[in-house]
Amino acid sequence: MASVTDDSYESIGLVKPEVYVYVIPPRQSATRKHRAADWKLDTPNYICRLKIISKGEKCLIRLEDRNTGAHFATCPIESYPSMAVENVEDSTRYFVIRVQNDNGQQAFLGIGFNDRSDSFDFNVALQDHFKYLKQAKQIEQEAKQTANDPLQQHQPKLDLSFKEGQTIKINLKSSLPGDEQTKKSVKNINESFVPGILPPPPGSTIPKLTPPPGSTIPKIAPPTISPQPSPSTTTTTTTNNNSVHSDLSWMQF
């Protein structure tokens, strides 16, 4: 991993293939922001490709020719938000950037995106760069404090490596013997109940209903079977059986 101050490492945080570039009029007042309505938005002066490049602690906005990739202008950014990149007063898609050449000469240009999502990505890419720098500096400071702390130097480090000849055993079996049979029995119990009714806990019994006080359950004698029933006898037996079954309708089970 490259150091934060390593200028030889260059990363690209954002690429937008099309951005509108405007030559803007000077600011009318030091306290007033730029307004995109003062620009000729329908006729941009240039259409470029935009890149946000991180090089060590430096952050650069580079404008290039969208066809050939030739360098057009560079905006160095030391902090964000700052004078290097400003939002306009009347839109979230347009910005004012401060470009600078190799001789140190500066100029202000207006840039605009065709969609709001592009301007959102532009803001997030700049914020991520400086957030990364802040976190990296905090880590470096904590490392220096730990190195200079005598208590941390003399404290033995925790060694979690395996010793020579040491082995471990890992049981990857998901269930113990007999668990499958228990699961099947529980599944059968659950399937025997109507959906929406909770099954009883394992090992419990369903209590039997007792008849109301003072009532008696009559004993029903089995029907007699004659050896050679005649047609009239069969009709009578059937009638008796039906009457027996109809008498059972008042019982509670």
CB contact set of 76 (below 8 Å; sequence gap of 6+): 58, 59, 60, 84, 100
Transcribe 188-237 into DSSP letters: HHHHTS-TTSPPPPTT--PPPPPPPTT------PPPP--SS--HHHHHHH
Task: Take residue 183 and report the two structure tokens written for it.
Answer: 């699961």
pLDDT at 141: 86
- The CATH code belonging to domain 10-146 is 2.30.29.30
Task: Please answer whether residues 13 and 124 qualify as being in contact, where contact means their C-beta atoms are separated by less than 8 angstroms.
Answer: no
pLDDT at 26: 87
- Domains of the chain: which residue ranges? 10-146
pLDDT, tens digit, for every residue of 139-157?
988 888 877 766 665 666 7
Average pLDDT of the chain is 78
pLDDT, tens digit, for every residue of 50-108?
999 998 889 999 999 999 999 999 999 998 888 999 999 999 999 999 999 989 899 99
Percentage of the chain lying above the pLDDT 90 cut: 42
